[in-house]
């Protein structure tokens, strides 16, 4: 029997919004009286699953941090995920991530810095005041969500390490444990998962160290116990289940760049004017919002955060540095 193996990041059948989710959305909105609600009310309407520990945060005052789009439902955001350590299908993380143990958990901060250290997850939770930020998430595959994350600016942790003048980039390493993560047994990527940012990107106030969403701690399938949220970049740049943060002088080789350099560049800023080699990036489908045949919404430059982050790339060729 022949088994077809999809190409890396090729849209799959699982990318399609489930019929039940589409139909139930309208029923739920009607029941909640939200059909004609204001954008602000809609942005505040979704709640957590009610099963995980609460993790509230004050609304962020960082410019651009509180998008007023209607939130993606918690059910969709926690069941439709890319987390290849638990499988390549969108439903795999929610099915398999229960095996992930998030305590004890430590994160090492090392490399070109004056004060390296090893932080327990509970110490990181107390490092800075928790904020809620409503960010758009845009996936390179062409779908998007709007999620209320809970955490604080990544810069709060990075500054404590006192990076030296040699620290030009920040590299992030995710957990890769075959006993907990069945996807790591596959050869779909060269594990562990590595991602990186230029240091000014990592220090930008919108680059977020995330510990929760929808007022609760992160579900395992969404990158528990801590992950990044870098809202102006495609979703794969926001590393999940981080165990190491390293300051380096040379540009890190990110996992997807290593796997397919011609398709996934280091910067991976959301840019509707630069197509992926196998599909356009000009439009996107908001998960849970529209049916399969609904017209896609236009993709925004830098995912709508151009006013906040555009200056980081002044003078750069954004087609060459994709």
Residue 2: inside a domain: no
To the question of pTM greater than 0.85 for the whole model, the response is: yes
Residue 322: inside a domain: no
Residue 307: inside a domain: yes
Residue 73: inside a domain: yes
Joined together, the tokens standing for residue 190 give: 């060269």
Q: Can you give the pLDDT at residue 20? A: 39
CATH of the domain at 22: 3.90.420.10
Look up the domain containing 41 and give its range.
Answer: 13-313
Report residue 275's pLDDT band, with 50, 70 and 90 as the boundaries: very high
Q: Bridge-partner residues for 232, per DSSP?
A: none
User: Cα(79)–Cα(178) distance, rounded to whole angstroms?
Assistant: 22
Residue 40: exposed, middle, or buried by beta-carbon count in 10 A (0-12, 13-18, 19+)? exposed
Residue 112 DSSP SS3: coil
Report residue 293's pLDDT band, with 50, 70 and 90 as the boundaries: confident
Radius of gyration of the chain (CA): 19
pLDDT digits (tens, 9 = 90+) for 3-43: 334 444 444 444 444 433 433 433 333 333 333 333 334 44
Residue 319: inside a domain: no
Q: How many domains does the chain have?
A: 1
Q: Report cis status (omega within 30 of 0) of the bond before 225.
A: yes
Residue 42: inside a domain: yes
Joined together, the tokens standing for residue 266 give: 């280091």
User: Cα(218)–Cα(136) distance, rounded to whole angstroms?
Assistant: 17
Residue in 156, 148, 114 with CA at minimum distance from that of residue 132: 148
pLDDT digits (tens, 9 = 90+) for 82-130: 999 999 999 999 999 999 999 999 999 999 999 999 999 999 999 999 9
Instruction: Name the strands in the sheet holding 194-198, side by side, starting at the edge strand that comes first in the sequence.
Output: 117-120, 106-111, 242-248, 169-174, 194-198
pLDDT digits (tens, 9 = 90+) for 190-211: 999 999 999 999 999 999 999 9
Q: Can you give the pLDDT at residue 61? A: 97
Residue 80: inside a domain: yes
pLDDT digits (tens, 9 = 90+) for 49-88: 888 999 999 999 999 999 999 999 999 999 999 999 999 9
């Amino acid at each position: 029997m022949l088994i077809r193996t999809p190409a890396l990041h090729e849209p799959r059948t699982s990318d399609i919004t489930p019929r039940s989710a589409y139909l139930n959305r309208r029923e739920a909105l009607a029941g909640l009286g939200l059909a004609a609600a204001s954008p602000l009310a809609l942005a505040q309407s979704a709640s957590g699953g009610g099963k995980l520990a609460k993790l509230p945060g004050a609304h962020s005052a960082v410019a651009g941090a509180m998008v007023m789009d209607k939130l993606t439902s918690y059910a969709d955001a926690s069941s439709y995920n890319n987390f290849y350590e638990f499988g390549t299908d969108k439903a795999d993380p929610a099915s398999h991530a229960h095996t992930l143990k998030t305590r004890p958990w430590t994160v090492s901060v090392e490399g070109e810095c004056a004060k390296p250290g090893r932080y327990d997850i509970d110490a990181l939770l107390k490092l800075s005041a928790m904020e809620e930020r409503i960010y758009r998430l845009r996936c390179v595959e062409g779908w998007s969500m709007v999620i209320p994350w809970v955490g604080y600016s990544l810069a709060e942790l990075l500054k404590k390490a006192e990076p030296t003048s040699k620290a030009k980039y920040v590299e992030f390493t995710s957990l890769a444990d075959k006993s907990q993560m069945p996807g790591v047994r596959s050869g779909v990527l060269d594990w562990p998962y590595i991602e990186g940012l230029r240091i000014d990107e990592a220090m930008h106030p919108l680059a977020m160290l995330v510990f929760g969403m929808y007022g609760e701690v992160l579900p395992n399938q969404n990158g528990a116990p801590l992950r990044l949220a870098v809202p102006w970049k495609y979703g794969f740049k926001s590393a999940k289940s981080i165990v190491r943060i390293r300051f380096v002088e040379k540009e890190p080789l990110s996992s997807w760049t290593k796997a397919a350099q011609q398709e996934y560049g280091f910067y991976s800023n959301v840019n509707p004017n630069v197509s992926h080699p196998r599909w356009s990036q000009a439009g996107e489908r908001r998960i849970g919002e529209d049916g399969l045949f609904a017209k896609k919404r236009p993709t925004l430059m830098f995912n709508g955060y151009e006013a906040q982050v555009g200056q980081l790339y002044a003078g750069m060729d954004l087609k060459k540095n994709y």
